[in-house]
Structure 1
Amino acid sequence: MKIERLISMIYMLLNHEVISASELAEKYQVSQRTIYRDIDAICAAGIPVVSYQGVNGGYGIMETYKLDKSLLNSFDIETLLTMLNSLSKVFMDEQTMDTARKLQTIRTEGAGPGMILDIESRWTPQGSLRLLKSAIKSRKPVYMEYIGLKGERTCRTVEPVCLMYKNRTWYLYGYCRTRSDYREFRLSRMDRLQALPDTFHRQHAMPVQSGEAFNRPEPADPVAVRIRFSPRSLARALDYFHDSEKTHHPDGSLTITLHLSSPEESKWLFPVVASFGEEAEIEGPEEWRGQLRNMLENMLKKYADRR
């Protein structure tokens, strides 16, 4: 749309000393004649665009018109730019990049963010993220087949409210028509995701504390489960259990103590420990050792000789 192109062009001009008509035409996939008309429209709106002649000529905005750099301090600007640039890589979102360009117009030269934020990885569900972001913006309900924690598959229709990134995982928060209540859905467990053609008009509030539904409640009668990791598995063990109680041993091994409820309610632990192979061992209690042993024996049965 022309109005969106004009707004984006204004921030491009604010962010550059001089930018040529050919660069603008290539950026917006229009002719240079269209760019000349857009520049006239921007001038008519009261924004002082200056034309510079010569080999390196082009268009710019009068320096005295640019945004006051005291609006935000350098730390604020650099932090926001770091987050926006990371999000733009995930969503491939021109609107997010335009927001970043706005902030760059009041950026302090030489300032550095002191951090790099990269939330994109090969496991990032980019297609689902972009579909859901579009559905949220256009207020379209989405349909999915959702795989629950116990492996059950249910068909859900959800009015999406917001996307959440927490504990290195993307979630959708929305109103589930199937359950008539608000729910969080992990994107990695969505299948056959699609946006529906109708528009919902129900007004939804953002979650008050998005982390509440994720955090596991403290067990009423916790059991101290001790897991010993070999020196070779130390780095990976710390990646998994960095906030847990730790005991380092002279031989370089590490014992992690977790305070958990019963084995039935903490089944997530056994596949994690098993993934370490011979480099990890549940030292106690014996009931927990037995649970892991049973799991491994059942696994071995699947690989028994079929002759």
Structure 2
Amino acid sequence: MAPPTSRRTGFSKRAQYGTFLGYVAAFAGMLAGAAVLVVAFINKDAFGGLRGMASDVAAPAGRTVAAGRAGAQDLGAILGGFLTSGATHARMRREIELARTRLAEAAALADENRHLRALLGLREVPERPVAFARMIASTASSTRRFATVSAGARQGVQVGMPVRTPTGLIGRVLEVGGSTARVLLVTDPESVVPVQRARDGVPALAQGHGDGTLQLRLVNLGLNPLKPGDVFVTSGSGGLYAPGTIVAVVVELTRDGAIARVLGDPATADYVAIYPVYAQAAGMPEALAPPPAVTPQLRPARKPAPKPEAAN
């Protein structure tokens, strides 16, 4: 029997060369990927053009998918509206009738208020802010709650002026500098704001908790009439805050009031408006100062009258 030869056939050589070239290509690809990764790590904008080109190439497909998704959503909304249109129209008709009734009542109340103001000689307070300012900073980790705004004495800001955002009251001016002012937020434990429930005028006092909430304490103790979702506005008592400014909404009931969440969040406010003190803007007389203490003056003791001498 002849010994087997050690020479490979042509097919086996092609397979060997193919395997070798495959390993070489894989190793070169790994080196190229590592080089690209290093370059991208060092210079993040090196392949910005390539990424832009890839985004441009994939944009038509993305727009097509987005259009299909929007069309499917619109079709679902159309079908759902067709099935619920009757009930929705009936509900909207009832709401419109109720809104008309409430609008007529509100118009009657506004007319009555105008007559009462004319009778009492009161005038409307102009809702004109003294200055608009940017919220520079506000405390977030301290138990005290202060904020700094970019308006001060040069802009006409004075101590005690209310500070508001479009969503509600945030506090009052505590200290005034030349171009900045320090604001005592309503959530500070030292802040107390007279408020009332918006729909029926139930009076309460809103005191800060220091944690972003307010403690509402009812003025008239008794059965707690508050409910979660009740909105409280300033009552105008004390002459500092104008009545009707939104303050907070009730989130939890307590024994003598409720816990409320402030609607004017300084953390999300970029700009604020500073308004004049309500009593000064309305032309109300300032509160009388306590009379000065009177120091009692001691009268000199009267000398006793001389006794008449006895006749000898």
Coarse TM-score class (shorter-chain normalised): under 0.3
Higher relative contact order (CA 8 A, sep 6+): 2
TM-score, normalised with respect to structure 2:
0.19
| Bigger radius of gyration among the two | 2
TM-score, normalised with respect to structure 1:
0.19
